[in-house]
Structure 1
């Protein structure tokens, strides 16, 4: 192992822990926005007309618009929101809000327009309706490609590009709401509310998805310094930049990366840090799973890098000591490696359970040996193909109960902080086993590989 790869803890000022009440306040504000929409509908005569389809059409349209804008805010990369909830939860809520908004929009269209001929007449003759129709088609495309079965058939890069059309759909929907929507312009309170929500949503996207990344890239100027093969289909990239000690990143987090090495640079890919951030150097490790990841092995030193982040809540911000257990599947070991270098556990307190198909897929052997020798980390490998039944154990242990096996591997599991990283279904199985084994929910931290 080279000196630059030694996983010592980073001499940097890490971001402070996020107060737990941040999440409660954020969730309350989101729920309150829906109540405000209903209240504005009631004040504009909605209850008096409740027996009519048009009244329900107005309400569903308003709720659809509110959820649509909440979707935008959920994925606007607002640092405070990211720190409070983490990407996993935000992405899940974003998806739920998206499907809810879509079906409310369908009900809105059906109840307001009725017959197909009336719909056609409204699109051609009502102000802003042609734009709204185009926006609706864009949103339909986003929804269809967000269905799990459709996502499996798309490359991540293609799905991500198509998903950006959601912004176009939201933007095209605005004119018809302002020109023909009496619920938007019928009262001063309604006008102020909707303009404020649209303004905050647009401002958040411009500030945190454009402005903040642009400023950080200008300030830190990341470049590739080394590219190292870690095994079949596995490549580590070392990056260096300016004033990286000022970057508010913690071990366990990930970034969206763009490598300026030619065609394809415009498509960002999410990769976790695979080593504790130290000084002016970062390291990521990438498994060859598609077009974007396959290019990484061919990167040359000196290649400029654009990044967005850091993101993710798989961090040690709530860990203050005591037993810690990390459970990784395949490439999921990378963020856990960075955490092993940062967390202040004592010798003998840390256990890493590493799940892989076989010996050839075990990566970072020398670093794991370093952790075992210098920091007393106990490394347990679980090898073999998947079991026929749902669960996190390999086929060779399929006859054992998930929770009981976890207790046997880690007798102090109920007193431990648990960090889990791997595919969604597998991580959910680990989480279920951990809860059954007595791990407290607030000590269970997960990062799932899905999109």
Structure 2
């Protein structure tokens, strides 16, 4: 049933995209050709750029029904690739517009470009295209790694300016978007649905939830020399739709500026009384959590993520964690039945450099023991190949791995290695569940 729920969400997204592509194709061909063949091509890419932009907005709207079934990491990945597709579609539209009018007026492409820049509708489109290209350039992996998250995020917010400029450009264009009453109704409906979803998912729900629950810090507990747990309570916590394995985007206005946020997993299953996050000091945000004061207000976005028992398809489960990736694994252990399942039904592989790095190890041991499970603490120096997760080693530790659901959370290199190993061991893709905890 869990797999069907996730499949239903994917089919719903796919059906939405396909249905809208069909509608756009029909509207394009019924609107008639452009002034010459090149401008007809420009119109084709223009209307598809508008549709792609709407899909791009929907992918980051964080609507709960879709996000909880597909996961923010997968939606963010789709958003990234749709974003690059949008840039190329916009650039193709812009180039063909210039070439089309150049051929129509008998002027050079440069002269035509300058003439079009004097037209308000075209100028807005040019500015939007320039912003799309700039945001895409900062999203390239090599550039992104060199930027602080706050810098990258600030630049990325220009995407909304670009979308607004593109929308006005679209409304001023009367050749396709308003060619008929049906076309006008469709485009306005699509725009309102996309931006309405964004406002509801990213503004209305978080603001309403925080006003209702009034989250605050109730305790700060050091777990090791470089790890700390933060306990958060609030009003009516039993009504918060949180599940073990999920994560939230946390803002501590008294600790950092309000616009600085960090995604941290829930390191304990929600009890209806409060939440707990556990973080290692790997950056400015996580390193300063020890300085939080009891009673300090917290702004919480979420919970997010599909890394939950909703995905379960098999009775047995293998939970694989690397480093601080143990936090969602530890919370998921609490959802496993205590004492009444077969011995070894729950297996945990916990990969750390040495035992001193094993955050929450005592709690994990107790939870596994209470569930008659097995815990394998895999230690050793970090290496690119992570030989401790090669197929032979994993099969030796968990011979029936292909009959289990497998949840994997850890550094990207480790996650990729484990997923490749599981594929080699014949574990069906539908039984492998991963989550990458990041804002972009």
TM-score (norm 2): 0.91
Q: Which residue pairs with 1:433 in the alignment?
A: 421
Structure 2 CA distance for aligned equivalents of residues 180 and 278 of structure 1: 54
Residues 334-377 of structure 1: per-residue CA shift (max 9 Å, x gap): 11111011133725311111111222211112202212332223
Q: Which residue pairs with 1:359 in the alignment?
A: 355
Q: Which residue pairs with 1:265 in the alignment?
A: 258
Secondary structure at the aligned position of 1:113 is classed as: helix
Post-superposition shift, 1:289?
2.5
Is residue 2:179 matched to residue 1:179? no
Q: How many pairs align?
A: 426
Q: Which residue pairs with 2:398 in the alignment?
A: 410
After superposition, the Cα gap between the structure-2 partners of 1:17 and 1:334, relative to the gap in structure 1 and judged at 3 Å, is farther
Structure 1 CA distance for aligned equivalents of residues 194 and 173 of structure 2: 22
Secondary structure at the aligned position of 1:118 is classed as: helix
Residues 285-318 of structure 1: per-residue CA shift (max 9 Å, x gap): 1222222222222111111001111111100014
Is residue 2:337 matched to residue 1:344? yes
Post-superposition shift, 1:174?
1.0
Post-superposition shift, 1:438?
2.4
Match of 1:256 among 249, 259, 268: 249
Post-superposition shift, 1:384?
2.1
Structure 1 CA distance for aligned equivalents of residues 288 and 249 of structure 2: 15
Structure 1 CA distance for aligned equivalents of residues 219 and 259 of structure 2: 22
Residues 59-98 of structure 1: per-residue CA shift (max 9 Å, x gap): 1121112111101001101111112311122111111110
Structure 2 CA distance for aligned equivalents of residues 19 and 263 of structure 1: 36
Q: Which residue pairs with 1:442 in the alignment?
A: 430
Is residue 2:95 matched to residue 1:110? yes
Equivalences for residues 391-410 of structure 1 within 5 A: 393-394=386-387, 397=388, 402-410=390-398
Secondary structure at the aligned position of 1:344 is classed as: coil
Structure 1 CA distance for aligned equivalents of residues 286 and 372 of structure 2: 33
Per mean C-alpha deviation after superposition, the further-off stretch among 28-37 and 272-281 is 28-37
Is residue 2:45 matched to residue 1:57? no
Match of 2:24 among 37, 46, 65: 37
Residues 212-241 of structure 1: per-residue CA shift (max 9 Å, x gap): 111100111110111122223222111011
Q: Which residue pairs with 1:67 in the alignment?
A: 52
Alignment gaps of 5+ in structure 1: 1-14
After superposition, the Cα gap between the structure-2 partners of 1:201 and 1:324, relative to the gap in structure 1 and judged at 3 Å, is same
Structure 1 CA distance for aligned equivalents of residues 225 and 132 of structure 2: 40
Residues 90-114 of structure 1: per-residue CA shift (max 9 Å, x gap): 1111111100010011111111013
Q: Which residue pairs with 1:122 in the alignment?
A: 116
Q: Which residue pairs with 2:106 in the alignment?
A: none
Contact 2:255 2:288 in 1 (8 A): no
Secondary structure at the aligned position of 1:352 is classed as: strand
Equivalences for residues 24-423 of structure 1 within 5 A: 24-46=11-33, 52-114=37-99, 115-124=109-118, 126-319=119-312, 322-344=315-337, 346=341, 347-389=343-385, 393-394=386-387, 397=388, 402-423=390-411
After superposition, the Cα gap between the structure-2 partners of 1:130 and 1:353, relative to the gap in structure 1 and judged at 3 Å, is same
Structure 1 CA distance for aligned equivalents of residues 393 and 335 of structure 2: 28
Q: Which residue pairs with 2:9 in the alignment?
A: 22
Post-superposition shift, 1:319?
2.9
Residues 229-268 of structure 1: per-residue CA shift (max 9 Å, x gap): 2223222111011111111111001111111215422222
Structure 2 CA distance for aligned equivalents of residues 334 and 160 of structure 1: 26
Per mean C-alpha deviation after superposition, the further-off stretch among 302-311 and 285-294 is 285-294
Secondary structure at the aligned position of 2:291 is classed as: coil
Structure 2 CA distance for aligned equivalents of residues 90 and 16 of structure 1: 17
Structure 2 CA distance for aligned equivalents of residues 194 and 290 of structure 1: 44
Contact 1:161 1:267 in 2 (8 A): no
Structure 1 CA distance for aligned equivalents of residues 239 and 3 of structure 2: 13
Alignment gaps of 5+ in structure 2: 100-108
Structure 2 CA distance for aligned equivalents of residues 187 and 429 of structure 1: 54
Structure 1 CA distance for aligned equivalents of residues 229 and 151 of structure 2: 24
Secondary structure at the aligned position of 1:317 is classed as: helix
Post-superposition shift, 1:449?
4.1
Structure 2 CA distance for aligned equivalents of residues 29 and 70 of structure 1: 9
